[in-house]
Structure 1
Amino acid sequence: MPCSATALIDAINDANANGGDTLVLASGCTYDLTAADNDENGLPVITTPITIVGSNTTIARNASATDQFRIFEVGDGGRLSLQRLTIRGGDTTGEGGGILTSTGGNLRLADVTVTENTSAADGGGAKITEDATATIANSTFSNNDAGDEGGGLSNDGTTTLGTTTLNNNNADNYGGGLDSDDETLTASRTTIRNNETGEGSAGVDSDGGTVTISNSNISDNTTIGTFAAGIYNDADSMTLNTTIVRDNTSTGDGSEGGGIYNTSPLTLRNSTVTGNSLPGANGQGGGIYSDDGPVSLISSRVTGNNATGAGGIYNDSAPLSLISSRVTGNNATIAPGGLYTDVPITFTSSAITGNIPTNCTGSPVIPPGCNN
């Protein structure tokens, strides 16, 4: 296809009119969109199965464009597959700065970079709405910005991520890297790193639905708010398998949960929460802060986290199980350094050792076997 935005628009219109098509873009080309084609979309809404294949190819909103528009919208019944492309510079007052997948739409990304897109609402890079689906592989969401939630990606539908990176994204409120609500998120071999928020949950924010994260890394995310620099969990259920939550920071005074703030069922298997910190005054739960929601740690470690109180785990009246797990090497200004809990916990074949200033002394309830 010629290196022409007009040619691309015409080809999508033809594909929609004729039941779908595969469009091969010019190698090394930037398809430069200078005005909206419709509503807040730079290109025609996708309503049929369309595959767009690039090679070092970019589709971008021109920086001098006066219209605010995203790049793509996938409409009801549309199936959009993007391969080997960069989606750049979308800017919308609605959802999905780069890509919006509306109810009934299906999105597939393979080797795609979504970058420098802005939404005044949710999903700076992309938004997957309720009853929409997305499969994203070998792709990157970077330097996107959301005025509300999901700086990199916002999911209200069913989304699968594989070997994908969300880095250097920002949300004014929650989910600097990733926000997932209501339906299903499955992520494997995913890196969520160096994202920021102004309120909380700089890495991952989840409110409702089922979340499973495996063989992934959630690290170096920062919020100037007061909770959940790494993960905020209010999902119906969240499971972390062989996943690292590392070096996340909540800088506000009175922060809770540097690595994870939990209010709903959470299971960690073969996972590590390490190096997370609450440098402000009166922070609680440098590694994990659990409030009401049941937490199970199975063959997992909470180590090297820092806070004013309970550098490792702060458990506020929630069911907590430590099974073949370790809480070690955490630091707090006020005892205990390892585990604080105000209710009895399940403690099986586990260890709480080497924490500063104490392991459990200072906690209202001290688990049997905690070495102080």
Structure 2
Amino acid sequence: MSMKMRKSAGGRGIETSLLSMSCLTLAAIVGLADHASALPGHASGGDACDAWPYECSQAEQTFYVTIDDGPDAVQLALDLVPENWTVSIGPGTYLLDGTLDPAGKAVTVRGTVDPKTDEGLTILDGQGLHRVLQCVSDEGPDTVFENLTISNGLAPLTEFVDFGTFVCGGGILNRGGAPTFRHCLFIGNSAPKGYGASVFGFQSCHTFFECRFTENSAGVTAGGIYNYDCSGSISECEFIRNSAEYGAGVMVDTGTITLTNCTFTNNSAADDGGGMFNNGSSPTLTNCTFTNNSAGGDGGGMRNYDSSPTLTDCTFTNNSAGDDGGGMRNYDSSPTLTDCTFTNNSAADDGGGMYNSSTSYPTLTNCTFTNNSANDGGGGVYNSDSSPIIINCTFTSNSAGIRGSAAASTGSTLTFMNCSFHDNLPCEVGGALCNVNCELSITGSTFTNNSAEFGGAIWIEGGRSTLSECSFTDNDAVDMGGGMYAISSNSTLISCAFTDNTADSGAGFFNDCGTCTLIDTHFTNNSAYEGAGVKIMESTGENTFTRCTFSENFASDAGAGLVILDSTAETTVTGCTFSKNSATEEGGGGFLIDSRMLCIDSLFDNNFARSGGAYWSESSFLECINCVFTSNQAESSGGALIFEFSTSLLNTCVFSNNVAGKGGGAMTNFVSSLELMDTRVCGNTAPQILNEYTDFGGNCIQESCIDCDVPDCPADLNDDGIVNGLDLTILIADWGCTGEGCPGDLDGSGLVDGADLTIIFSAWGGCG
């Protein structure tokens, strides 16, 4: 057989007949490699083309391989090529008879691409018999593979890789090196009983750029890339339709690899980690997307075990888990996520977007959770025995079959700061949040238009919760707690606002068998059958309300403001305002049944009910100190207060201008112990006090307040002889009122506005 070689001293295209070879065998060709070091110029590359029996360019420092040269020519080129040269492989499918090995050389192995489509045309095929390529001789970043398709590689059934016997690396085995792969396609490689169908990296620092991994499969883990104790980077890469038991796309095991601008699509794990699995690792991901990945167990998009990944600008969309964590599952892990989005992810059990458990400490900043779903709890996020910190995050339109459409938690310490929860779908408990035996802190967050059977926005069972500067608006509960429901819990609310919430009972806040502390918290325009603002039931611990307001709440039955039932511990109300609340039946401001309440320095103004315009007490103990009841109205009796089978003490209080249709303009007493001390009752509908009471002295009960030596002082809206904060509170509660019957219209203009405020301040202090 006569063969020609194309040899070029200064470029390609000059043909020279170098030799005639008869029966040139593969052994003879390989023999050239065995003696490569003896060939002239091999060490320096000066006459390297003399060593290569096919096309070569000395000027371009390139060995050329074509499909006609046979599949063994690729390895031959790797054996003969000098350092820093290039092996250029032409288009075609090279059916390899063995595993390629660059043997530590700093060379570039370059395939051919279609100039129109940029698709690779050079295919290195393992024929489903063996691995395609291995780098096991400390290759560095200057060992480069580009424009290649690595396909049909098969991991050896048994192989010792430094730390044990494994079946690994169907496409590539990289051990201890740092090779570079650019614009390569890995397709159809397999490790049927092992790891890393496409790539297995062991203590390496490899680099992958613009590579695609598709339809590779591993029996255990990593259909795409398995990284063991690796660093390096993966950027602009795609992982598509890979499969494994764990980590179908990428597995990072004890490593710190960096992924940038990568996509994980339609990968599937029989168990955990459809897109990616991290074990004891700290990878960094930037601008990566996880879409339509699935896991039969946990973590449809990503599974983290004892890991601390950092994710920035990453998206998780349409991922699913057969158990928990449709988007991400964290176990004993501390991921940090910034500007990430979770959309349309789902879990058959808990945590449609994310599931955290076993002392995980995730930190989420500026993340969004939208349309995620879980059949059980935590459509957006589920936490179990974990301590997440969630800052500036948004939860929208998430759903859960049972609890916490946005987030559900058990036995966890939770921190939410400046978050938004809105339009999450109805569930049984906790339309936005469901927390059981948790330490909960929420600051500066909003809850809008969430709904559930119990706890339209929040359900809390056990544990402690502190909410500061939060707002609850347009939330709804079919049964109890339109804004918030707490059972057997210790709740503290500071500077919060509950507005336009609805429920059958406790539209703003329902406290069941627990204790609560509310400071500077406001309940406005909430509506319920009873307890439109707050309802406390069977409380065994002390409850306190300080500087809170209940305004324009409505109860279709009873108790529009504050309702307390069957509570053995005392509720203390200090410096609070009840204004313009209304109930169809009893207690416009609220009512007590079988409970105790101490009310200090508080104002009840312009409330309305059929009976007990301001408050109604049944079988309870009520003590009021320095409180003002003015302009309240009852259709029947008890314009301000009504008592049934109760014990009540009124000390240094003022009752003025209250109206009752059937007597008891100030108060009505049915079979109760009613005691008055230093209290002024004047200007109310007669009889001002219906039925018996005990006078402990210092009282003034007259038809006209002038007869109680109260100076004629228009700015003294509560007729206590002093223009002070209580009068200012009445005016502010009346702000914007127009027409007749507005107590705060001091200048008679028909509008309560800044001019009336000026009159209040100019008259500040004692009247007369």
> TM-score normalized by structure 2?
0.44
Distance change in 2, residues 1:363/1:337 (3 Å)? farther
Partner amino acid for 1:54?
A: R
Match of 1:258 in 2: 379
Match of 1:136 in 2: 259
What percentage of residue pairs aligned between the two structures are identical?
21
**Could you tell which deviates more after superposition, 45-54 or 16-25?**
16-25
Match of 1:353 in 2: 473
Match of 2:129 in 1: none
Match of 1:152 among 271, 275, 288: 275
Match of 1:314 in 2: 434
**1:12 Cα deviation (Å)?**
4.9
Query: Is the CA contact 1:337–1:355 (under 8 Å) kept in the aligned structure 2?
Result: yes
Distance change in 2, residues 1:331/1:12 (3 Å)? farther
Partner amino acid for 1:112?
A: C
After superposition, the C-alpha distances for 1:141-172 in whole angstroms (9 at most, x for unaligned) are 11111111110000011111101011110100
The runs of 5 or more residues in structure 2 that have no matched partner are 1-87, 106-134, 160-166, 485-505, 524-532, 534-768
Partner amino acid for 2:389?
A: T
Match of 1:295 in 2: 414
1:176 matched to 2:300: yes
Match of 2:198 in 1: 71
Match of 2:424 in 1: 305
Distance change in 2, residues 1:243/1:36 (3 Å)? same
Distance change in 2, residues 1:42/1:13 (3 Å)? farther
Q: Distance in 1 between matches of 2:364 and 2:273?
A: 20
Distance change in 2, residues 1:367/1:231 (3 Å)? farther
Q: Distance in 1 between matches of 2:285 and 2:144?
A: 24
Aligned residue for 1:45, secondary structure, equals strand
After superposition, the C-alpha distances for 1:226-245 in whole angstroms (9 at most, x for unaligned) are 21111111253111000011
**1:181 Cα deviation (Å)?**
1.2
Query: Is the CA contact 1:152–1:169 (under 8 Å) kept in the aligned structure 2?
Result: yes
Q: Distance in 2 between matches of 1:61 and 1:126?
A: 16
Match of 1:230 in 2: 353
Q: Distance in 1 between matches of 2:319 and 2:95?
A: 32
Aligned residue for 2:271, secondary structure, equals coil
Distance change in 2, residues 1:17/1:7 (3 Å)? farther
1:269 matched to 2:418: no
The runs of 5 or more residues in structure 1 that have no matched partner are none
Partner amino acid for 1:137?
A: T
**1:209 Cα deviation (Å)?**
2.5
Distance change in 2, residues 1:66/1:47 (3 Å)? closer
Q: Distance in 1 between matches of 2:339 and 2:474?
A: 27
1:94 matched to 2:220: yes
Query: Is the CA contact 2:149–2:185 (under 8 Å) kept in the aligned structure 1?
Result: yes
Q: Distance in 2 between matches of 1:5 and 1:331?
A: 62
Query: Is the CA contact 1:336–1:363 (under 8 Å) kept in the aligned structure 2?
Result: no
Distance change in 2, residues 1:149/1:112 (3 Å)? same
Q: Distance in 2 between matches of 1:284 and 1:67?
A: 40
**1:94 Cα deviation (Å)?**
1.3
Match of 1:116 in 2: 241
Q: Distance in 2 between matches of 1:238 and 1:335?
A: 28
Q: Distance in 1 between matches of 2:98 and 2:259?
A: 23
After superposition, the C-alpha distances for 1:266-324 in whole angstroms (9 at most, x for unaligned) are 1111111111012x4xx111111111111111111121112222101111120111111
Match of 1:49 among 164, 170, 177: 177
**1:40 Cα deviation (Å)?**
3.5
Aligned residue for 1:50, secondary structure, equals coil
Correspondences of 1:10-21 after superposition (within 5 Å):
10-15=100-105, 16=135, 18-21=137-140
Distance change in 2, residues 1:32/1:43 (3 Å)? closer
Query: Is the CA contact 1:286–1:311 (under 8 Å) kept in the aligned structure 2?
Result: yes
Aligned length: 357
After superposition, the C-alpha distances for 1:64-103 in whole angstroms (9 at most, x for unaligned) are x99987010001x31111011101222111111211112x
Q: Distance in 1 between matches of 2:266 and 2:328?
A: 16
Query: Is the CA contact 1:160–1:187 (under 8 Å) kept in the aligned structure 2?
Result: yes
Distance change in 2, residues 1:294/1:33 (3 Å)? same
Correspondences of 1:336-347 after superposition (within 5 Å):
336-342=455-461, 343-347=463-467
**Could you tell which deviates more after superposition, 164-173 or 349-358?**
349-358
Q: Distance in 2 between matches of 1:12 and 1:236?
A: 43
**1:187 Cα deviation (Å)?**
0.5
Q: Distance in 1 between matches of 2:97 and 2:249?
A: 25
Q: Distance in 1 between matches of 2:241 and 2:180?
A: 20
**Could you tell which deviates more after superposition, 175-184 or 334-343?**
334-343
**1:337 Cα deviation (Å)?**
0.5
C-alpha RMSD of the superposition: 2.5
**1:105 Cα deviation (Å)?**
2.3
After superposition, the C-alpha distances for 1:85-125 in whole angstroms (9 at most, x for unaligned) are 101222111111211112x22242011111111112x1011
Partner amino acid for 2:217?
A: D
After superposition, the C-alpha distances for 1:182-201 in whole angstroms (9 at most, x for unaligned) are 03111000001110111121
Q: Max radius of gyration: which structure?
A: 2
**1:17 Cα deviation (Å)?**
5.3
Which has the higher relative contact order, 1 or 2, with Cα contacts under 8 A spaced 6 or more apart?
1
